[in-house]
Amino acid sequence: MKKQKFSLVAIIGVLLVGLVSPFATASANEGSANGITIIEKGDNNLEYIHKKDEGTFKIVEKTSPDNGNVESKIYKLDEK
């Protein structure tokens, strides 16, 4: 059950990145839109902070250049 929930959250994260990416400048390392702050953006990686009512989350996504697989890690940040 937890793995399915994590997979769903990862898919939603990837979709959000797809929505945010056109609005982020390619040369900027940091940007903000709709509660999402891009920390690092590269050819095969993306790292961003997403603030929403449920809390603040850090998402780290890496894409394999060989097969296009995406590995997403989602961390819930505390106030510290």
pLDDT digits 0-9 by tens, 6-51: 666 667 766 666 655 544 444 344 456 688 999 999 989 999 999 9
Query: Can you give the pTM of this predicted structure?
Result: 0.57
Q: Evaluate if residue 1 carries a pLDDT over 60.
A: no
Q: End-to-end alpha-carbon separation of the chain, Å?
A: 29
- Amino acid 65: pLDDT: 87
Q: Is residue 61 scored above 90 in pLDDT? A: yes
Structural domain for 9, as ranges: 2-77
Sign of CA dihedral 35, 75, 43, 17: negative
Tell me what pLDDT residue 24 has.
47
- Residue 8: per-residue pLDDT: 65
